[in-house]
Structure 1
Amino acid sequence: MPEAVLMDENYNKLLEQCETQELEAPGGIATPQVYGQLLALYLLHNDMNNGRYLWKRIPQAVKTSNMELAAIWAVGQRIWQRDFPGIYTAIAAHQWSECIQPVMEALQGYHL
């Protein structure tokens, strides 16, 4: 099986796992890492509607306390605006964590 297909399947599984973790989070609030991965995966799958709704339901305290989450959303805003040079600028402007870096690299390759 081609590597791209395997990676896509892995991202689909990760997306399902993140959605489940968000739904089953204690007190209804997931960790910033779960929100970040979920948002990045929605962007990778070009699922802007779910990405926007996720951003709206993330508690404000989580958004303001996590710079990476805001950086992921900045990438999403550029995608929404079809600002392709801005997508690459937003991706390059942040030092991504270990769990977000592969998704951002895949996203960057997708929009080439």
Structure 2
Amino acid sequence: MQQDKYSELLNKLENDELENISPGAELYQQLMAIYLYQNKLASAKLLWMRISNNLKENNKELAQLNLLNLALQHNKYSEFFKYIKYEWSESNKLIIDDLLFKQREELLNLTSSAYVSIYEHNLLQMTQMTPDELKSACLGWTREQDGEEHIWQPKIKEPTPSIASDDQLLKLTEFVSFLEN
């Protein structure tokens, strides 16, 4: 499982950070990327605070990772998708690709549970995807024409069956009367 793989790497990197007097930028980059993937935004923020100013100023990839963290902290998905379009180093590319896939999936799930329909241009702006990428990501959704606009309608999820409060109260009353007798 991908999460387990990153957990082992995270433990190794955290130990390396503790053991080294002055860890390099690549170690911090990987730590930050894994924290973002695992949605440990507070850990990523604390990591940013303990990185030396010299490394922050001289390493653009660290600054870019911090921008991703800030966008996620403030739930600004369009900024996140704008900042993730960057030429990442080979050591971080796989983690960032997984993060991108995970965040897009999360945004589409959130959108599908919050909206009955959404204009395509709004969805494209939020996800920062091309129309072809959006079509492949929204396979279960239906697409309709509204004049010149395209509207996406998410697949309706069946609500989980819940027991009504009256039914629960009746069962509780029966159980209490059984215990009393």
The answer to whether the 8 A contact 2:3-2:38 is kept is no
Q: Say which of 98, 102, 110 aligns to 1:110.
A: 102
Q: Tell me which residue corresponds to 2:93.
A: 101
| Residues 34-89 of structure 1: per-residue CA shift (max 9 Å, x gap) | 00000111111111111111100000001111111101111111101101111111
TM-score by length of 1: 0.89
The answer to whether the 8 A contact 2:30-2:91 is kept is yes
The amino acid that maps onto 2:51 is I
Q: Tell me which residue corresponds to 1:20.
A: 15
| Residue 11 of structure 1 pairs with residue 6 of structure 2 | yes
Q: Distance in 1 between matches of 2:2 and 2:73?
A: 24
Q: Distance in 1 between matches of 2:33 and 2:46?
A: 13
Identity score, percent: 27
Point out where structure 1 has 5 or more consecutive residues left out of the alignment. Answer: 1-5
Give the structure with higher Rg (CA): 2
| Residue 75 of structure 1 pairs with residue 75 of structure 2 | no
Runs of 4+ in 1 over 6 A off after TM superposition: none
Q: Say which of 26, 30, 39 aligns to 1:33.
A: 26
Q: Distance in 1 between matches of 2:64 and 2:47?
A: 15
| Residue 64 of structure 1 pairs with residue 57 of structure 2 | yes
Q: Distance in 1 between matches of 2:102 and 2:89?
A: 20
The answer to whether the 8 A contact 2:71-2:80 is kept is yes
The CA RMSD measured in Å over matched residues stands at 0.8
| Residue 84 of structure 1 pairs with residue 77 of structure 2 | yes
Greater fraction strand: 2
Greater fraction helix: 1
Higher relative contact order (CA 8 A, sep 6+): 1
Q: Say which of 35, 40, 65 aligns to 1:42.
A: 35
Q: Distance in 1 between matches of 2:96 and 2:88?
A: 8
Point out where structure 2 has 5 or more consecutive residues left out of the alignment. Answer: 105-181
Aligned residue pair count: 104
Q: Distance in 1 between matches of 2:19 and 2:12?
A: 10
The answer to whether the 8 A contact 2:68-2:83 is kept is yes
